[in-house]
Amino acid sequence: MQESILILAGGGPAPGINTVIGTVSKVFLKAGYRVIGLHQGYKTLFGEDTDFQEIDFKQADNIYKTGGSFLQMSRYKPKDEEFNTRFFVQNNVKLLLTIGGDDTASTANRISRFLIRNEVDVKNIHVPKTIDNDLPLPEGQPTFGYHSAKEEGVRLAQTVYEDARTSGNWFIVSAMGREAGHLAFGIGAACHYPMIIIPEMFNKTKITIGKIIRLVISAMIKRRILGISYGAAIISEGVFHFLPDEEILNTGITFTFDEHGHPELGNVSKAHIFNVLVQQKLQELNIAVKSRPVELGYELRCVRPNGFDLMYCNLLGIGVKKLFDAGYSGCMVTSDPAGDIYPLFLKDVADEKGKVKPRLVNINSQKAQMVYEWNTQYIEPGDYEAARRYVANPEEYDFQKILNW
């Protein structure tokens, strides 16, 4: 029976998934393998009616440059008791190739160990993807999809900034990112946003909603002092990962709740939450500034990959074949800035419980420090006298004091 490889994509989409699928398919088809694409992630893999299709060269060539995912994705996480060898044996699968984040990769490892125990030889190699750029790859290596998503985010954020100038208003922008602020920081810095708020900047003080609101208003007052009535602030959704439920509920925003009683943040715009709270504080201070919310998230995930990600994902796809031929399994494929391929094993980046820690923005790096020192605008001691025209206690809106920097 012809040997085959099985490809699946888990989690949420990121630009470049189809580039990886197309490249891997072409390379393995050329080597004589049958290529099987699995829809819905792991959801139907162990059932009687597995949702799959064969991928031929023409199909691989057509999807290579497109956004989204040719293979339907899913966040489904099978339990160990669901595992069986049926599909792998019936289709003579020699490689399980997964595209996704750490959950998708760790599930593939569990499946691989199960197959080994049942004497079915299937290697597993993972291609790490996320627009959040928060997987712990070696320094200087982005996760694929990040640059394309950031580029689209910059395009939208620049348009928003131009709207702010045109209308004389402010915009409160929220960006995806899970626990990390890479996307918000990258977009905000590229667009010269007056205020960029990410969870990593609270490295010397506890994150609170009050501090976030004061940082935004600090930028608004500073811009007024500079004679500018408009602006934009971008806030990473990651700040919510560090806020207790009680503080979130005390905002007065209406939430739905999950089965554990936690507010379902995915059902409400984070930009809306912060815009409402900023407006409430501005009214309390009697500062006449209009602001509007803009959410940047789902608009970024399925754009066409840019030139960087097209080349990067091409290298990762070819790299899968290189690692497979070298006998590697249970690893992620990585490509350094020179384009050289290396394996990265989950055990080397996971904690003692097997959880992969997210890669956060290095707030102490020169890049971050320069952006916050020179690109952003906020109240400093030299602004106190002018700021008293707007607030009685300008020191409470001092950027350095808020963050305890």
What's phi and psi for 123, nearest 5 deg?
-80, 155
Q: What are the structure tokens assigned to 198, written together?
A: 């990410």
- What pLDDT does residue 354 have? 65
Q: What is the pLDDT of residues 292-349, one digit of tens each?
A: 999 999 999 999 999 999 999 999 999 999 999 999 998 999 999 999 999 998 778 8
Q: How far is CA 339 from CA 120, 319, 342, in A?
A: 33, 10, 10
Name the active-site residue from 56, 121, 132, 351. Answer: 132
Q: What are the structure tokens assigned to 405, written together?
A: 């920097």
How many other β-carbons are positioned within 10 Å of the β-carbon of residue 44? 18
What's phi and psi for 191, nearest 5 deg?
-95, 5
Please state the pTM of the whole predicted model. 0.93
- What pLDDT does residue 139 have? 81
Cα–Cα distance, 365 to 370 (Å, whole number): 9
The residue whose two tokens read 């995930």 is 301
- What pLDDT does residue 118 have? 94
Q: How far is CA 151 from CA 121, 157, 212, 303, in A?
A: 41, 10, 25, 10
Cα–Cα distance, 103 to 241 (Å, whole number): 18
Cα–Cα distance, 341 to 167 (Å, whole number): 49
Q: Which amino acid is at 241?
A: H
Active site residue 132: yes
**Pair 296, 158: CB distance under 8 Å:** no
In the chain, which residues have pLDDT < 50?
none
Q: Residues 200-203: contacts with CB within 8 Å, 24+ apart?
A: 200/360, 200/361, 200/362, 200/363, 200/368, 201/363, 201/372, 201/403, 202/239, 202/242, 202/403, 203/363, 203/364
What's phi and psi for 6, nearest 5 deg?
-120, 125
Say how far residue 66 (Cα) sits from the centre of its chain.
19
Q: Locate the DSSP E strands across 291-366.
A: 291-296, 331-335, 341-345
Q: What are the structure tokens assigned to 11, written together?
A: 């989690």
Instruction: Name the residue among 277, 286, 275 with its Cα closest to residue 160.
Output: 275
- What pLDDT does residue 349 have? 80
